[in-house]
Structures are given as C-alpha cells and as structure tokens.
Structure 1
Amino acid sequence: MPTIAGMTRSRLPLRLILFGLLALAAVVLLWFAVSLLNGLLEFYERVQAMPLLLRVPLIVLAAAIFAALLWFGWKLLRPARARPTRAASRRIPDRTGVEARVAELREQSADVANLEQELLELDRRRLGGECHVALFGEISTGKSSLLRQLASENASAIEADVIGGTTRQVSHYRGRLPDGRELVIADMPGSGEVSGQLREQLARDEALRAHAVVYLAASDLGRAQDAELRWLAGFGKPLILALNKVDQFQPAERDALLDTLRQRYRDVCRAIVGLSAGGREVFERRIADGRLERVERERRPEIDGLLDALQELTRGGSAQLEAGREAAVLSSIELRSQQVAREMALRDSEACVTRYTRRAVIGAMAAVAPGTDIIIQGALGTAMVRELARIHAVPVRDIDIEQLLARIGLTIRSTTAIVLAIAGNAMKAFPGLGTLGGGVVHAFAYGLAFDSLGRALNLSLAEHARLDQFETERHLRDLLSEPGRERIERVARLVIDSLRKQPEAD
C-alpha cells in the first residue's frame, strides 16, 4: 500500500516540528517561572535587608497597589446588575406633544374625533376628582356578580347571566369602601368573546382611563389572559388580580393556585386576592320522605380581601393615582395617533401609486418605441420614489434612488416576458381591447410594472422605514409573477380611460 505509506512519511516531519515547538514552549515557560521565583526571592532578601522605616512604607505601597488591581479587575469582570424595566423603561408621553400630533393629523384631514374626545374625557375625570376602578377580565368570570356586591346603588339593575358576553357596553356605578370613600366602578364587556373585537376595544380603552384595574379570573390564567394583564401593566396601570369562585376549589387546591399566581405576577400586580362574588348556586338535598329536591339559592359572597386591597390601593385618593392614569391615556392616544398616521400614509401612497401608474400608461401609449426603460430610468420612476419616501417620512438620497432603479430595472427586464403575457391575456377579458395593437398591450405592461414597483416600495418603506433595495426587489418579483385580479382590473381601467381620452386630446 504505497499510498498509505507515503501519507505516513509525509506526516512524520510535521509531527516532529509540532513536538519540537511544544518542547521549546515548555522550556521557555519553565525558564520564566524560575526567573520569576528567583526575582521574588531576591526582592524578598533586599526588603529584609532594608531598615524598618523603609520596609514598612514599601510593603504598604505594594499592598495598596495589589488591592487596587483586584478592585479594578472586579469592577471590569463582575456581571452587570439587572435594571428594573417596568416604569423606568416606559417613556411617558408629553401632553403638549400628543396634542400637537393630533392637531397635525386634523390639519391633514384625518379622522381624529375619537382622539380629541379622549383628551376631553381625560380632563373631565381629572377635574371631577373621583376615583375610577375598572373591572376587567374574560367573559363568564363573574364581573357582573362582583359588581352587584361592590355597587351601592342600582345593584338590582345589574344583570348577572350565565351566558357569556352579557355585558355589551361600558356602564358606571358608584360603590363605597369600608372606610366610607366612594369609587366609580366601570363594568365592561369581557374579552375572549367570539366576534367581540369592538367590545374588547371598548373594555381596553376604559381600563386605561381608570385609576386602577381589578383583573378578574375564575382559574389559572391562560396565554391570552396573561398577555392582557401584562399589556395593562405595560402602561403602568395599578392592578389587582382577583381569583373569583374560590369556594368551588378544595382548600389545598385554592391555596396552591393563589401561591402560583402570587409568584408569577408579584412584579406585575399590586395585590393578588381570592374571592367569591356570590351569584346563584343549584344543589340537591334529600327531604324527609326520601325524595331529592333541587334547590337554587344565592351564594354567599366573600369579598373582604378585595375590599381591603382596593382600600389600600386608593388610600391616597384619585390625586395620588392621577399622574399614572394620565400617562396611560396619553400613551394610548399616542399609539392610536400613530395608527391613524399609518392609515393616512397607506391612503396617500395608494393614491400616489395610482397617479404615477396612470402617467406611465399615458407615456407608454405616446411612446414611438415603447420599452421598459421608461419605468426605471425616466423621471416618473424617480419622482414616484421621492414622493413615496416623503409620505412614509423616510429620507432618501439621489444616489440611493439611482441604485434602486438600476437594480429594479434588471428585475423588470428579466420578467418582461411574463408581464407581457399577463398583459395579453388580461386584454382578452375586456371587449374591444383584445383586438387593438401591441401598443395597448405594452401600455398595460407598463402600468402593471409601475403599479408593482409602487406597491413593492410601499411594503419595503412601511416595514423597514428605509429604502431597502433587496426587500423592494423581492416584493416586486412576487407582485409581477402573480398579480391579483383586482390589480389587473385596476390597471386595465386606467388603460381604457387613457384610450377614451386620446380622441378628445386629438
């Protein structure tokens, strides 16, 4: 086996070299250790030979230098302390800034009536000086039954139904704590109801308007409940987690569940209590003649723990909790104003793409020798990119636009056959267009490519808040390869409108 023997001989010198290097390193390390030990011994002998007046200061100086090195190394290598992330990391919006944002949206013809109403309600509750508490939780957790125990007036008018989703709107009632102070209690629609998104939004908005929130649960919290609770805590909302219907658990099971909730949410909630909100219960009992009798009666409420927690939480009155309430409401308004701004940008960008697509169709029909270069090299492409960037508030440079259009040009050229095929098939679906010349087909292809470019830019700018060439190209390929029926019909209508206006122009 000459090959194997040759391989063995070729590896032998390398092994010898590595062994020699390791041996040399061992000798150098041993020499360094011996030299260091020898130096320390000489230093020790010289220190011993020094007078006492010189020896003591030298030892103190050496010890101080050694201690300073240890302290500096500990500062560099110690793990960083965990910093609190709740209130410290939450940015508190400025009232003036929020109002200016809403005013700016109003000037842009946006619908901000709900946002302005929130600001008015914020001021109204602050001037009223009443302490508002919201009952929040999923459907069928006993919110209406608990409200009947907390409300001091109109308690008989509060419905408590076994059917989930009974509460359809936000209602306010007055309640009284054991120390005589009054609360305004909000009964809200429950979350988790099928097709109840609008009512859930009403509940979330009212929870943010309240000074404090009682989150009611009838068992351990699921994923959706956990997310809701932490969402409220993210706004800095004072929370009480109340486990209802504890009388239906065995004592050991009840205590274990409460301990689990306290460990999990001790950094989220101000208090975690168990209670029984009452309501009606049905049971069977045996009468004297041996028959079973079905009995329905009111369940005895046990809400002392919740009353104590509410009393402690609101001890300072609404004034103590007003700053947190205002911050939560302003944060909500700020988020909603950002959503309005995004919707306006989407509306304006849609109009922009339609406007430039129409211009591209007209330009294609007027061209002597139509070609896709008009889309990527002409003034229309550059102008559309600039306007879409302005709508999305993304700064762009001329060189970035040129590079983007150059890259997009390659993509459009590589898919020209596909676009023309789609254009030809689409024209057949519209009576009269299918019999016209190739100029109309090319105009439709221009329009479809331009529409795809605009929509790809919109997607990229909205997702990344910058002019991303690769993402824009990816979206463009998807839009060109599989255009939806709605887009095809919209571009075809632009072609038809342009054809109708041509004789008028002539």
Structure 2
Amino acid sequence: MRRWQWGLFLAGVVLTLVLGLGLTQNLLGLYTQILALGGATVANLLLGLFLLVLLGLVLTLGRIFWLVGRPVRPTPKRNPRQPHTAVSAQLADLAQQLAQIEDRITRQVLEAQYQELANQQARQPLRLVILGTASTGKTALVNTLLGRIAGEVAPSLGTTTTAQVYGLRLKGVPRRIELVDTPGLQEGSVAGASREMQAREWANQADLVILVVDNDLRQSEFQVLQHLRQLGKRVVLAFNKTDLYLAADQTALLTQIRQRVQGLLAPADVVAIASAPPSVTLATGEPYQPPADIERLLRRLAAILQAEGEDLIADNLLLQCQQLGAEAQAILDRQRQRQAAGIVERFQWIGAGVVWLTPLPGVDLLAQAAVQAQMVVELGQVYGCELSLAQGRELALSLVKTLTALGVVRGVASLVSRTLKATLGGYVITSAVQSISAAYLTRVAGLSFITYFQQNQSWGTGGMDGVVQTQMRSQEAGLPQFIQMAWQRIKPRN
C-alpha cells in the first residue's frame, strides 16, 4: 500500500476505537441502571451481548488489517495456447483452401496430404529424429536406446544411407514413440547431398530432434540448430563420445557448448553422453566393454515428453498444416491470377468495342466506368469478395477519377494518337484512338483492382494513386505492342 492509503486506514482505525470507547461508556451506564432496576440476570445478558458485538468488531478489524496489509500476489495468467484447438482450426481452413483448387490432380495430391494430417491428429506417435553430422555416433545412440543392434556402426562417412524408423517405449510416456535414424549431414558427395536433404525433411516432420555432436559445435551444426529453432522445433543436443575426453576436458567442452547455444537451448537440453564406448584391454589382458552412458539423456527425454509430448505433437502438426496451407495458397494465388487476367483481358476488349461502336469526342469515362463496374464485381468473386454492382460502380468511378487526376487519360490518348498517326487518318483515327485508349485504361484499372483484392481490399500505404502509378510503369514498355495488337483486333475488315 502507498503511504496515503496507510494514513487513511489508520485514521479509520483510530476513529473506530474512539467511537467504540464512547459506546462502551454508554453501555456501562446502561448496565448499571438495568442492574439497579432489573436485577443481575438481565444486566448480565446485556453484558454478554455487548461482549459478542465487541468481539465481532475486533475480528472484523483484524480481517480488514490482514487483507490490506498482505502483499498482493499477481493473478496467474492462464496459458492461451491451445495447440490442439489451433490444429483443428487450421485443418478446417485448409479444407476450404483445397476445395477452391480447380486442377483435379493437384487437388487430389494435396487432399491426400491433408487426410494424412487429419488422421495423425488422433493417432500420431511421438516422432524423435536423430540428426547430426556423419559419424558423430547417431546409429550407435539408436542401438543403445533400443538395446539391440538396429543399424550398422562404422567410422566411415555415410554408413547410414537412408532413414530407418524404429519403435521405442519410454517409462512414463503413454504415447508410442517413433525413433528415426537419419543419414549424416555434410558427407561431401552428390549422394551425400541427397541423403542430407532426406535427413532435413525428416527433421522438419519431427516432434523432437536429438542433434548429436561429438565435439564443440561446427558452424554447419550451429546453423542446423538455428534453422530447427526458427521452425519452432524442440531440440535436445547430445554431446556424444565423451568417453574419449578426460573429465576436465569433458566438463570444459560441455560448458563451452552450452554457452554457444545460449538463447537457443536451455542448459538442461545440452546433455553429455557416451553411446558406444570402445572396448579396452585390461592389465590382465582381458577385454573390457565399458557400459554406455545415456542415462542423463533418457531422463531428459522422458521429462520433456511427459510434460510437453501432446503439445509437441500438436505444434508439429500445426507446422505441417501451415506448410501445406502455404503450398495450397500459392497454387490458389496462381489460379486466381490466371482467372483475373482472363477477366481483365475480356473487359478491355469489351470496353474497346463499346467505344468503337458509339464514338464520342474524347474518351467516354462514364461508359468506361460502367464497363469496369462489372469487371470489378467479377474480380471480387475470384478473390472471394462479393460486391454488388453499385459497389463495383462506386469503386470504378473512384479509379476513373484517379486516372483523370493523374493525367493518365490524356497521356494515353496522346500516345495512342501518335502511334497510329503514321498509318491512319480522318474519322477512323479518332475512333481507333478512343477505342484503344479505352482498352488500355480498362487494362490498367483491372490490374490495379487485382492488386486491391490481393491486398484484402486495401490500396496499401500509397493509396489508389500509388497502385495506379505502379501499374502504369509496369505496362509502359509494352504499350506500343499493345496498341498494334489492339488495332489488329478493331480495324475494319475489307
């Protein structure tokens, strides 16, 4: 509490005590009178009642004092993350995206991937992927985790040539676990590059990645770790082959690795292990196989999977949904771009035809706005925006006014006139200039509206003027060819 709050509180306590004392004096006087008139029984009942009231008052003041004086504990915030709910919402959005894809084969391929993700939401095992540079002991770690020889172990690079998937159980983890042994990174050959790509793809699908190193982090290993963390992957870094180092060197290296990954991994997620210590010969001449030392890694994996396993699965599914959604969106964007370009081309020639058949002095902007209104409505439908014809007309008139204010109308008409002047003359020139100018202005308007709808019905920071000017610059180089093509379409046939 602040000082002034304490002052008010204490003043209230003092005032209460003063009033209490006055009440006590009055009650004592009343008690004396009753004792004299009514006897001891009635007087004692009154005294008992008074004492109960006084006790209640003291308890109430004590409670108030405790509530005011105790330190205020911040109310713990509920974690808003509900990854399983987010996955369901993402899957629903993804289904709507896929339904809009027109190419049947492409849609079927993406729907198959979608169905796999939807099925995995209920039954997907926890997927642990072992990743690391070649010959850091990944397969030896897998063999030790499984308690059997599951893969070939050799000092040469590229011993593991393809990913291998095994089943694993950890105490306290109810979900089934898939343990994936991947080919090594940085093998330095064409085949090795292909195997590395395979390993990275498996890592992208992992719920938890165990990144195996056998020394201080190489730059390439650090970059892999950075990439995985940027994807939001949970990573445990296993510092392997510690049996090859003296105890002091092992401790120094472990500390150094933890310092290098600070900000990417917690110190507890960097664990020293010896997955397959080499056998040694005792002084007696007998061979001795030291036991593997992966207990700390097992404890850490179990702790993570017990506490975060369900969220890791959901987060991984969410990432895969987002990646599939991005792929579907790119296909939709290209599909919409083709549809929108077809609409613009159709209406640019409609606009040219209207002006050619009913020529008026100058470019008839109102007629162009009428043509463009329907174009705007159809473009909106392509991008999932339902507009009435009145709304389309309002947008079209706004853009026509912008074209006029920017001097585009006059400039285009002048350029078209100069281009045709060498070969045409008289009445035909006027009609041709008007028609081709109308077609070109409709094209610029259509491309501007495509940008508007692509930006979720926003003209962006530069406003309508900025979008129109950008489209004018992008079309400027091809204007002479457009004029020639337009003339070939509208010129009278003999």
> TM-score normalized by structure 1?
0.60
Deviation at 1:411, TM superposition (A): 1.7
Deviation at 1:449, TM superposition (A): 3.1
Residue of structure 1 equivalent to 2:36: none
Give the aligned length.
424
Determine if contact 2:210/2:238 at 8 Å carries over to the other structure. yes
Paired residues for 1:158-173 under 5 Å: 160=157, 171-173=162-164
1:502 partnered with 2:490: yes
Alignment partners' CA distance in 2, 1:68 and 1:434? 98
Q: Which AA in structure 2 matches 1:451?
A: R
Residue of structure 2 equivalent to 1:413: 404
Q: Which AA in structure 2 matches 1:84?
A: N
1:449 partnered with 2:441: yes
Deviation at 1:270, TM superposition (A): 9.1
Paired residues for 1:242-321 under 5 Å: 242=238, 250-251=249-250, 253-260=252-259, 264-265=263-264, 271-274=269-272, 304=294, 308=298, 312=302
Alignment partners' CA distance in 2, 1:365 and 1:353? 18
Gap change, CA 1:58 and 1:447, over 3 Å in 2? farther
Paired residues for 1:350-499 under 5 Å: 350-369=341-360, 371=362, 374=365, 378-396=369-387, 401-417=392-408, 420=411, 424=415, 428=419, 435-436=423-424, 437=429, 439-463=431-455, 465-468=456-459, 472-480=463-471, 482-484=473-475, 488-489=477-478, 495-499=483-487
Local SS of the residue matching 2:163: strand
Residue of structure 2 equivalent to 1:115: 110
Q: Which AA in structure 2 matches 1:256?
A: T
Alignment partners' CA distance in 2, 1:74 and 1:468? 55
Deviation at 1:257, TM superposition (A): 3.6
Local SS of the residue matching 1:476: helix
Alignment partners' CA distance in 2, 1:417 and 1:408? 11
Structure 1 stretch displaced more, 396-405 or 381-390? 396-405
Alignment partners' CA distance in 2, 1:67 and 1:36? 14
Q: Which structure 2 segments of 5+ residues have no match?
A: 1-7, 28-46, 144-148, 171-175, 277-289
1:104 partnered with 2:92: no
Q: Which AA in structure 2 matches 1:104?
A: A
1:228 partnered with 2:239: no
Paired residues for 1:214-225 under 5 Å: 214-215=210-211, 218=217, 225=225
Alignment partners' CA distance in 1, 2:355 and 2:156? 67
Deviation at 1:473, TM superposition (A): 0.3
Gap change, CA 1:78 and 1:381, over 3 Å in 2? farther
Determine if contact 1:144/1:187 at 8 Å carries over to the other structure. no
Deviation at 1:413, TM superposition (A): 0.8
Local SS of the residue matching 1:155: coil
The CA deviation string for residues 175-197 of structure 1, in whole angstroms up to 9 with x for no partner, is 68799x99552536969x9xxx9
Gap change, CA 1:413 and 1:41, over 3 Å in 2? same
Deviation at 1:219, TM superposition (A): 5.1
Alignment partners' CA distance in 2, 1:112 and 1:185? 30
Deviation at 1:368, TM superposition (A): 1.2
Paired residues for 1:58-207 under 5 Å: 60=56, 64=60, 81-84=76-79, 87-88=82-83, 91-93=86-88, 97=92, 100-101=95-96, 104-107=99-102, 109=104, 111-119=106-114, 132-136=127-131, 142-143=133-134, 145-149=136-140, 150=142, 152=149, 155=152, 160=157, 171-174=162-165, 185=180, 187=182, 205-207=201-203
Deviation at 1:477, TM superposition (A): 3.8
Gap change, CA 1:469 and 1:106, over 3 Å in 2? closer
Deviation at 1:142, TM superposition (A): 0.7
Local SS of the residue matching 1:160: coil
Instruction: Give the % identical residues.
Output: 13
Alignment partners' CA distance in 2, 1:460 and 1:385? 10
Alignment partners' CA distance in 1, 2:137 and 2:325? 33
Q: Which structure 1 segments of 5+ residues have no match?
A: 1-31, 279-299
Residue of structure 2 equivalent to 1:213: 209
The CA deviation string for residues 410-444 of structure 1, in whole angstroms up to 9 with x for no partner, is 3211222586259728975xxx7864435544444
